[in-house]
Amino acid sequence: MTLGSFKMSDQSWLKLELQSDGVMLITMQNAPVNAFDPNSLGELKALFVKLAGDGATKAVVLASNLKVFSAGLNLKEAQHYDLAAQTAIIDGFHKTFLEIFAFPKPFIVAVEGAAIAGGFFPVICSDYRIAGPRATFGLAEVRVGVGMPAGLMEIIRSMLSPNDLRRILQNGAAIQVDAAIQAGIVDELVQAGNVLDQALKVARDYAQIPPKAYATVKYQNRQHTIEALKAEIEKSAASKPVPWFTEETKSAMAKMIG
């Protein structure tokens, strides 16, 4: 597939459509819940690297064609992860969401379903978040028996108040869209079925902003967190792997799966 100035192979779970106004629409379609694993995270990271350098792409919208925006980690697979797999998924989360958080162009999300755990991070990394009335948001890590990866903690600390983070992170239950608006997770609530159209409209407006100025002020706003996340990635690469899972994790994941 040729998009703007670069070529990439089709990824069955990522549908790309470059609009005539320079807005790139990315639709996730990895049924049933747009779950992430190290491979899919690597593909998402590579896509954002390429879009950052693509002159035809002025802004990006991320959406889902499923009932769920993204449920994050594939728990059915993850409950069997050994140390090497645990290390790979943490590395994938850190590097992918660093790339998305530091993405220099406008990045808008359209959320009509659940954005949970790892699936919450494309939302919180974005520049503007539009949701429908059935959208839900959460950081469920504690309920599946794991802590928050240190690099991802840097992102959510920078985007949520300590009090909102206390409620969302320490409880692990999903919150409804009204609470997400109050917490600053969602910028705009629209009627069901209108979320993507509004996201594209907002992206078209963002695409008119001078791109160098936009990249500059976005980096100025996020610089401290970007540098902290880079440092965490470097620290992990230079250190002996440490288990993410504990003796609680497998049974907690099995309970969550049901």
CATH value at residue 170: 3.90.226.10
Count of residues for the chain? Answer: 258
* 179-221 residue pLDDT tens: 999 999 999 999 999 999 999 999 999 999 999 999 999 999 9
74 inside domain: yes
81 inside domain: yes
Question: For residue 69, which of 143, 129, 5 has the smallest C-alpha distance?
Answer: 129
Q: How far apart, in whole angstroms, are the C-alpha atoms of residue 101 and residue 107?
A: 9
Q: How far is CA 151 from the centre of its chain?
A: 13
240 inside domain: no
Q: How far is CA 75 from the centre of its chain?
A: 17
- pTM for the predicted model, two decimal places: 0.94
Mean pLDDT score, 139-150: 97
pLDDT beyond 60 at 70 = yes
pLDDT beyond 90 at 12 = no
* 82-106 residue pLDDT tens: 999 999 999 999 999 999 999 999 9
* 34-47 residue pLDDT tens: 999 999 999 999 99
Q: What is the span of the domain harbouring residue 71?
A: 2-194
DSSP 6-38: EE---BTTEEEEE-TTSEEEEEE--TTTTEE-H
Element (H, E) at 60: strand 59-64
Number of structural domains (the chain) is 1
39 inside domain: yes
233 inside domain: no
215 inside domain: no
226 inside domain: no
* 122-144 residue pLDDT tens: 999 999 999 999 999 999 999 99
Q: Are 86 and 239 in contact (CB under 8 A)?
A: no
224 inside domain: no
